[in-house]
Amino acid sequence: MKIIFLDIDGVLVTSRHMVQSKKYFGHAFDPECVRSLQEILEKTEANIVVSSSWREGRTLKQLQSIFELNGIKKVVGMTPIIEGAIRGKEIKEYLNDILKNGLEVDKFVIIDDEEEMGELDDHLVETSFESGITKTIADMVIHFLV
């Protein structure tokens, strides 16, 4: 299995497209970033695990609905929230949990605009809040996962 650990703000929600969603609480996803993410998903067959702060106060089902409203249907999980921990530690915990359940992860990538991933820095593809997932970033992620 291939996994994309995905942040939302600065990845799918950008400062160039700061539009309040009429369908859910929060900002609408930037259509250009959605197209780039869809290209990644088509070419890699990866699944998405949400690592964004958007998971706080939301269920997996609610996150899946938000993504589906934006044309993305491959959200399979969300990382645990560990008080005071960097996002890399939460991702590591998620990976440990699925390994305990007998699932195997072939490759994974982290798409985020934060750079604090600890020992998982080698898996980070960093975005900017201005532009989110660009074509260049999509190509890097595809190369990483294929």
Sketch the domain layout of the chain as residue ranges.
Answer: 2-145
Which one is the CATH code of 2-145: 3.40.50.1000, 3.30.499.10, 3.40.630.90, 3.30.70.270?
3.40.50.1000
For the stretch 48-65, pLDDT in tens is 999 999 999 999 999 999
Residues 6+ apart with CB under 8 A from 91: 5, 49, 51, 79, 110, 117, 120
- The pTM assigned to this predicted structure is 0.95
Percentage of the chain beyond pLDDT 90 is 88
Q: Is the pLDDT of residue 18 over 90?
A: no
Q: What are the counts of helices (DSSP H) followed by strands (DSSP E) for the chain?
A: 4, 5
- 107-143 residue pLDDT tens: 999 999 988 899 999 999 999 999 999 999 999 999 9
